[in-house]
Amino acid sequence: MSEKKTSQPKLPPTSALENPSSHEFGNWFEYPVRVQPHHTDYAGLVWHGSYIAWMEEARIECLRSIGIEFTDLVAIGCDLLVVELSVRYHRSIQLGMAVVVKTRMAEVTGVRINWDYVIVSTDGQQLYVTAKVTLVALDRERGKIMRQLPASVKDALAKNFSIK
Rounded-to-integer distance, Cα 40 and Cα 67, Å: 32
> Active site includes 41?
yes
Determine contact, residues 80/73, Cβ cutoff 8 Å.
yes
20 vs 105, more confident = 105
> What pLDDT digit, counting tens, does each position of 21-43 carry?
344 445 899 999 999 999 999 99
The least confident of 56-60, 83-87, 149-153 is 149-153
155 pLDDT higher than 60: yes
Rounded-to-integer distance, Cα 98 and Cα 35, Å: 6
The whole-number pLDDT of residue 101 equals 98
The least confident of 8-12, 96-100, 109-113 is 8-12
89 pLDDT higher than 80: yes
The region, left, alpha or beta by phi > 0 then psi within -120 to 50, assigned to residue 25 is: alpha
Rounded-to-integer distance, Cα 31 and Cα 115, Å: 14
* Entry pTM: 0.81
Q: Which of 160, 157, 149 is nearest to 76 (CA)?
A: 149
User: Strand 98-109 and strand 112-121: pairing?
Assistant: antiparallel
The whole-number pLDDT of residue 16 equals 46
Q: How many CA atoms lie within 13 A of 139 on its CB side?
A: 9
> Number of helices (H) and strands (E), helices first, in the chain?
3, 6
Rounded-to-integer distance, Cα 67 and Cα 150, Å: 13
The whole-number pLDDT of residue 64 equals 94
Q: Which is the catalytic residue, given 41, 116, 123, 155? A: 41
